[in-house]
Amino acid sequence: MKKEKASLKSSNHTKAKVLAVVNGKGGVGKTTTAVNLAAILGEQKEVLLVDADPQGSATWWIERSDIEIDFDLTQETDPKLLADLHKIDEYDLIVVDTPPALRSEALKIVIARADYLVLPTPASPMDLSALIETVQKAVMPLAVAYRVLLTKVDPRSLKETLEAQNTLLELGIPACHAFIRNYKAHERAVLEGMPIKQWRGKNAREAEADYRRVAEELQRDWHKSGEKRIYLTSYEKKSKIQAIHPANPMMSKQLHLHRDRPKDSDKADPDAIALLPTPQKLK
């Protein structure tokens, strides 16, 4: 699929699914997540990326080069047009990069229309506090399915990430099992106007692998949710977090929560970065 400027015209076409990337705070990896998920999911679906952030970061990023990408792009901040996201013609999936402002009317409209939300956030206490506020004020009242995605994770240490996952679990806020490590590769890909999967350089493959794991997990969880809000299961609440450092297995750690998990789930996925109990594969 070539990069194009699509328009938000409604039609009688089968309704597209809407995946919104949300956080009320800027600088958390929101646009990076939106662009890279659109690129990976666009390999198998017809995907439109809607840049609804007035800053236009996603548009600036993609328009920096003429390479072919696996999704179309449009920039739209008008709440009236964003209200018709499901009616856009010719796409299976619409990924929306939302404004980083809780009071934004456009953000409220997109969340209300979305089928699924991804909320990226670094694991620092300050960022996590802002994320929790976003969840409580903008997401929970609408009962839309969502997952928190931890970003900008230090590849050399898992302590802060494990603590953040524990905090989210204790609050009943569902988080992705995988997370995004903080590589310079992401900055270089932005400057060269391409998704991380198309950039070649140091740590490019590791950075790409992180987003592929996230994309797979989101699709699995979205399917399991039945397009209803995702709650933590009692199984997750009683389990350990098994964190596997992909580059150095000796740095792997466990964080115990409440009681041990069932005996049959003691083995961790060796290809995972940070996993709660390994979900069953879709048939």
For the ranges 12-16, 19-23, 65-69, 256-260, which has the lowest average pLDDT?
256-260
Q: Compute the residue count for the chain.
A: 283
Residue 148 pLDDT greater than 60, yes or no: yes
List, for residues 29-62, the tens digit of each pLDDT value.
Answer: 999 999 999 999 999 999 999 999 999 999 999 9
How many degrees, rounded to 5, is the angle at CA 51 between CA 116 and CA 37?
50
Give the residue from 148, 14, 16 showing the smallest Cα distance to 95: 16
Q: What is the mean pLDDT of the chain?
A: 79
Q: What are the extents of the domains in the chain?
A: 17-232
| Residue 51 bridge partners (DSSP) | 75, 97
Please report which confidence band the pLDDT of residue 265 belongs to, taking 50, 70 and 90 as the band edges. Answer: very low
CATH class of 17-232: alpha beta
Question: Between 239 and 133, whose confidence is greater?
Answer: 133
pLDDT of residue 8: 54
pLDDT value at residue 159: 87
Strands 93-97, 47-51: pairing is parallel
pLDDT band at 156 (very low <50, low <70, confident <90, very high): confident
For 168, the enclosing helix (H) or strand (E) is: helix 159-170
Distance between CA atoms of 230 and 221, rounded to whole angstroms? 8
Answer yes or no: is pLDDT of 281 > 80. no
Least confident of 66-70, 177-181, 211-215, 252-256: 252-256
pLDDT average, residue stretch 185-211 = 95
Instruction: Kindly report whether the global pTM for this prediction surpasses the value 0.85.
Output: no
Sort 108 into a burial class: Cβ within 10 Å, 0-12 / 13-18 / 19+.
middle
Q: How many CB atoms lie within 10 A of CB 259?
A: 10
Mean pLDDT of 9-31: 81
Residue 147 pairs in a beta bridge with 118
